[in-house]
Structure 1
């Protein structure tokens, strides 16, 4: 095992642990939603989802519209279904079905 890989893995693990432990340690009893730490923590969930989404779609991007069409239509279906039903599970499953259907047609 590479020493750099081990060091990065340990640092990422430590950072993840700190993001989970420190807020519970320092925010006991405060409950103020306008506190800077509360606002930071409420933003980390959406930021993590966007980071995972971008990391997942980057390898799929290409200038060929035919290869990108399932991704674009599936993503649009997720957004449309979410705004229609306000349910993330229905939007996710529906977007996956639309993506698969468009992929099969291409």
Structure 2
């Protein structure tokens, strides 16, 4: 393995760990609910989900018929629009994608 790849993996892994660990240990009781820090912390979850979606969807877009991708995405959007639950939307997307792969 090349040193550059190992160094990059360690840096990204360390930053990811720090980004997930330190907010759980910080005392956030003093921040304003409509302040910039609160808005930043509230947006990290959807931003991470969007990043993972793009990274996983790009290879599927080169396929001839990306039906499972379309059904999974539609399930996520429909459930999130109706429930506003990220957990339920993620599970619905997984089930929709899995069913489409299994049926096709």
Normalising by structure 1, report the TM-score: 0.70
Q: How many residues align?
A: 103
Question: Which is greater in Rg?
Answer: 1
**Match of residue 99 from structure 1:** 97
Q: CA RMSD in A?
A: 2.8
Normalising by structure 2, report the TM-score: 0.71
**Match of residue 52 from structure 1:** 52
* Structure 1 residues not aligned, in runs of 5+: none
Q: Which moved more, 1:2-11 or 1:70-79?
A: 2-11
The Cα shift of 1:86 comes to 4.0
Paired residues of 1:23 and 1:37 also in contact (CA < 8 A): no
* Structure 2 residues not aligned, in runs of 5+: none
Paired residues of 2:69 and 2:97 also in contact (CA < 8 A): yes
**Match of residue 33 from structure 1:** 33
**Match of residue 15 from structure 1:** 15
